[in-house]
Structure 1
Amino acid sequence: MMSSSFRGLALAASLFAAALPFAASAAPKTICTITVNSPDEKETFRRNLPPGDYNFVELVERGRKDWLASACEQKVQCDSLVISGHFDDGDEFYTDRFDVSEYLTVLEMERTSCSDSCPGVFSQLKEVYLFGCNTLKTEPRQVAGADITRALLRSGQSPSDAARLSALLGDTHARSNRDRMRQIFKDVPVIYGFSSKAPLGKYAGPLLEKYFQTAPPGEIGSGQVSQKLLSLFGPSSMTVTAGLRDGEPQARARADACRFVDDRISPAHKLAFFHDMLKRDMPEVRMHLGDMERFMSSLGVAGTLRPDAAEALARVAADHASRERYLAFARDADEPAMRTRMMALATRLGWLTPVQEQAEFVRMIGERMARDALGMEEVNLACTRGGEDDAAVRPLLGGALKYAKVAPAAALACLGSAQARERVVRAVTSHDPEEIDIARAYLRQRPLVDAAEVRAVATAIGRMPASLSQVRAIETLAQQRVSDPESLREIARMFPLAKSLPAQRAIAALLIRANHRVLGSGELTQTLKRHRLKSPDGEDVIDALIRVLQAG
């Protein structure tokens, strides 16, 4: 019979043996941080997590551009990742601090994730904390429009099937911020972020302090959703999701997108895949346009490609069947920007010459002008294309000026028409606010450079009746940073005649930006003091102008 003391020793030994696996699994968890802006979140985690149970590794190395690659090379193993930075536009984490220059782009995160070049930082994660605005915003960044549905109908789909497939394409390729984070952090069980505005670090820190006061031990890095954390940050739009899993509809789209950025794939093989994709149904090709554009931009100048890549690109250029399908789809695109982008890619692929691409753009302008569908978007697109006098524009000029429409005139003026420009400049003093807005958009990219033009606008503004339109006209001229003395005197003469505070403020804003010294500071200062209308809001731009004049 076993003695009681021996049984006690045996029990202790068995308990010790049973505890060995637990001890082995209780190694400290590693919290990796990427502090682009505020350190408040990181420091709150550090203060409240036991040092023996958690290690902290800051991945950002100040002053080093390739800090993420450096962290990957060091094979840091992360259980949790905390990213702190502004994220308003959804393309990068950035800072508003003057002493910090580091940032983290979504494209770099996608490249790293797709290349599997940083398995320690990305692949072993149990949790991700994205402290930035809109990091899990669900609004789609691209949609499947009516042109997608039309293409599906032309391919033989029934109306119901075309609508269903279009919706499926839209959902699969929506590329919302939430979708992109799920794809970057594939298979990660828990991803926290914000669907809209996130609290600044100085407010997020105290909320995290409250969380840690009652958080269960070991919850951080466990891969389990914390309802306590969500309840505290819920009013600040915090939400939670999980990384993309194989088998989900977006998994194939991710795999395709990854082929363009995976560092392990050569440019020649990427171009071969690019070519294969162009042979797919055009609606799907259209939804991958952003991936294709970024890839072609990354290749650099065609003449610098390696022979195997140059041969692969030449095979794409020689594919006339894909070219015709692609151009037909591009010409049917509803959105002017989409049509323009598709034509630019066609040029990059060798399917269009630059002259042909410009002709396609002018063709689009003409088509939309005929439908009376030209607006600010087309004006901005036209102004990015240069200002040479294009012979293809001249046939459109009569229609643009016939109905006195400003948007068509502005588009043609951007493409080089001097006659159309005269019409747009006159619109600065229009009584229609929409016309003034279009003229302002045009002049922002094609400014007034001739003194006679500036004087004509200044004189016309002086003849306008006191109104909101006059104020908007002054604000438009102010953007030109006027230096012509005669024009400035004309505007300054309007100040004592102005009957509203917004008008006087607009005049002061123009003068403070301009070379006001040509007016003589003493006389102008007295005019401002004597005739200024009282501001209910305290000091304003008029006071600032007076101080500048007195200091000068």
Structure 2
Amino acid sequence: MRAVIIAALLCGAAVRTAPGWTLEAPAARRTACVISFNSFDEIQAFRSSLSPDEFEFLDLAPQGPLPAETAEPTGDQPPPWIFDRCRPDIRCDVAIYSAEFAGRFFGKNGFSLSLQEMEEASCQARCDGLFHDPQEVFLLACNTLATKDQDGRTPEEYLRILLDHGFDRASAEQVVELRYGPLGPSFREALRRIFAGVPQIYGFSSVAPKAVVTAPMLARYLAAKGDYTQHLEQAAGRSDRNVDLLRAFKDTALTQTTGLKRSEPGAQDRDAVCALYDEGRRVPDRLRIAHAMMSRDDFLAFVPTLEVFLARHPPDRFDGESRALFEEITTLDAARERILRLVTDLNVSALKLQLAHFALEMDWITGEELRRIAVDGTKKLLFRPLTSEAVDIICEIAKRQNLGDDFQSPDLSTGLFEVSEGVRLLDCLRPADERVNPRLADALDGADPSLRLWAGYALSRRLPLDDSTLTRLAGYLNDGLPDLRARVRWTFVAQGPLSNEASEAVHAQDPVLAEELGRRYRSAARRR
């Protein structure tokens, strides 16, 4: 996140394909690789200052629509878009990331890049030109080089900043935990690992100025350096303190570090992480690596990577050697006790359930225990004042655990049916009790259009509906809200064959739709 002061929240920077920029880099020139996620100011400072005779700018941002992401990574999932930029003929001398940052680089242009995606790509030799060949890397976003130490903000204040900037509660909690908690490496160490071998990495240890402020700072720095090609030649392989850059960014949180060196103990950690991502390795060999990670005192730093591995290789599919190795991991008492302590001690949150789900994968809790954690957490949230944050958490819990049979209509307060956020919660919870249907139907008569639309949407996801609800729903086929009319119509099409009572109710409101539904069902009956 970026700010001139803490109150000015998240950092910005833009990604557009600049005219004349290309992925074909003439060998005679240095290569500046750029990815701009939000605004163009910082990239333009470089482009305006560096001679086009000496520098070719390669815009590595994704072009065109990206494939839809699945909820969980799988072996069949398309690789992240950054993999498409990994080519033997691309070698960056300078890499510039201009963005907002919160565990992933993102911005207004609708695409993002997570640390996990970057880490996995950086493990592949074909991506060396992007991640390990640069002489300098500029990470122009807040917290990119933050440690786990607390800065001028408390974790609670950072959480509020993320929520105010549009993060849902579940994502915001995960970012805060990665920033301040024991789970995963620090942002600084993660990016040092990603850019292993790079002599000079620049980023912010806390909040950072907005791009409109940093762009003039960059321009002053580049002007002070003069011949930047000569600067790179003189600095090649060296990690000296960049006095000119730090002077230009005086009174900001800009800091400098190096990529991970082979001589550092962390280099072995990077090798182990890369091995877990390597689908060319046998699963048993990677389970041995996982065993070594889970045996360490700092194993929590590796849990996010282990979660990716287990999502791609579910333990219930292990057999033979893999099953025996996995069972050895599950006997590691210190790791088990620490995870279970976190699951017990953490407040109700998406992170709590994430760790509980990891404990389930490790056979440290049963499916029934996971369900009890999910149900108890949801009940606690239902007794709290209704907020968007609480709804986000319940929806995240419901993604991982089906709770529809655990909540009956009497468990749900009247207030939930009177506001759109309450109905959104009910849609996520999806209680199986049919007594919920008439209460949702009552919300269709509310004064708030958002409430009415959410009620129609929630009912359309509870098919098949009972006759009483369908008869009421038919009364909205000619509603004044076009989106509600469309949703109700879709509901009748998706419902299947209607009773005579429901058919008559539809015919009374929309004879054409009633005839269409009749033809559809008669045709289906003949095919059977």
Q: TM-score per shorter chain, which class?
A: 0.5 to 0.7
Distance 1:373 1:445 in 2: 13
CA gap of 1:108–1:69, structure 2 versus 1, over 3 A, is same
What is aligned with 2:274? 258
Alpha-carbon distance in 2 for matches of 1:324, 1:39? 51
Do the aligned residues in 2 keep the contact of 1:427 with 1:439 (CA within 8 Å)?
A: yes
Structure 2 Cα separation of the partners of residues 235 and 512 of structure 1: 54
Which whole-Å CA distance do the structure 2 matches of 1:196 and 1:453 have between them? 47
| Aligned partner (choices 384, 393, 400) of residue 399 of structure 2 | 384
Q: 1:87 aligns with which of 100, 107, 114?
A: 100
Alpha-carbon shift at residue 297 of structure 1 (Å): 1.7
1:446 is aligned, of 429, 438, 443, to 429
Aligned residues: 386
Shift of 1:457: 6.2
Return closer, same or farther for 1:416/1:327 CA change in 2, 3 Å cut-off.
farther
Preserved CA contact (<8 Å) 2:35 2:61: yes
Contact 2:184/2:302 (CA < 8 Å) preserved in 1? Answer: no
1:344 aligns with 2:357: yes
Q: Distance in 1 between matches of 2:379 and 2:63?
A: 55
2:118 maps to 1:109: yes
Using the TM superposition, give the Cα deviation of residue 322 of structure 1 relative to its aligned residue in structure 2, in angstroms: 0.9
Answering whether residue 369 of structure 2 is matched by residue 360 of structure 1, we say: yes
Distance 1:71 1:321 in 2: 38
Q: Is residue 2:305 matched to residue 1:291?
A: yes
Distance 1:440 1:425 in 2: 11
Question: Counterparts of 2:210 and 2:423 in 1: how far apart (Å)?
Answer: 35
Q: Which amino acid aligns with 1:417?
A: D
- 1:293 shift after superposition: 0.5
The answer as to whether partners of 1:343 and 1:357 remain within 8 angstroms in 2 is no
Contact 1:76 1:120 in 2 (8 A): yes
- In 2, Cα distance between equivalents of 1:212 and 1:426: 62
For residues 374 and 90 of structure 1, the distance between their equivalents in structure 2, rounded to whole angstroms, comes to 31
Q: TM-score, normalised by structure 2?
A: 0.56
CA distance in 2, matches of 1:117, 1:104: 18
Q: Structure 1-normalised TM-score?
A: 0.54
Q: What is the 5 A alignment of 1:51-450?
A: 51-60=52-61, 62-63=63-64, 68-69=82-83, 71-84=85-98, 86-91=99-104, 93-97=105-109, 103-138=112-147, 175-194=185-204, 195-200=206-211, 204-218=214-228, 221=232, 222=235, 224-234=240-250, 237-245=253-261, 250-251=266-267, 253-262=269-278, 265-278=281-294, 280=295, 284-299=298-313, 310-319=319-328, 322=331, 327-333=336-342, 334-335=345-346, 337=350, 340-348=353-361, 351=363, 357-364=366-373, 376=390, 379-380=394-395, 382-387=397-402, 414-419=403-408, 421-428=409-416, 439=422, 442-446=425-429
What amino acid does structure 1 have at the position aligned with 2:284?
Answer: A
**Ranges in structure 1 where 5+ consecutive residues have no aligned partner:** 1-26, 142-169, 304-308, 388-413, 431-435, 463-470, 490-509, 519-552
* SS in structure 2 at match of 1:193: strand
Alpha-carbon distance, 1:359 to partner: 1.0
CA gap of 1:456–1:123, structure 2 versus 1, over 3 A, is: closer
Asked if 2 retains the 8 angstrom alpha-carbon contact of 1:428 and 1:476, the reply is no
Question: Within 1, Cα distance between the matches of 2:443 and 2:62?
Answer: 53
Structure with the bigger RCO (C-alpha within 8 Å, sep 6+) is 2
Identity, % of aligned pairs?
21
Which one has the largest radius of gyration? 1
Offset at residue 453 of structure 1 (A)? 0.3
| SS of match in other structure, 2:185 | coil
Deviation at 1:58, TM superposition (A): 4.0
3-state secondary structure, aligned to 1:384: helix
Q: Is the 8 A contact 2:38 2:107 kept in 1?
A: yes
2:466 corresponds in structure 1 to none
Counterparts of 2:375 and 2:182, CA distance in 1: 34
Cα RMSD over matched residues? 5.0
| Partner residue, 1:167 | none
SS of aligned partner of 2:120: helix
Query: Partner letter of residue 74 of structure 1?
Result: P
Q: Equivalents in 2 of 1:235, 1:478: separation in Å?
A: 49
Q: Quickly say closer, same or farther: Cα 1:178–1:277, change in 2 above 3 A.
A: closer
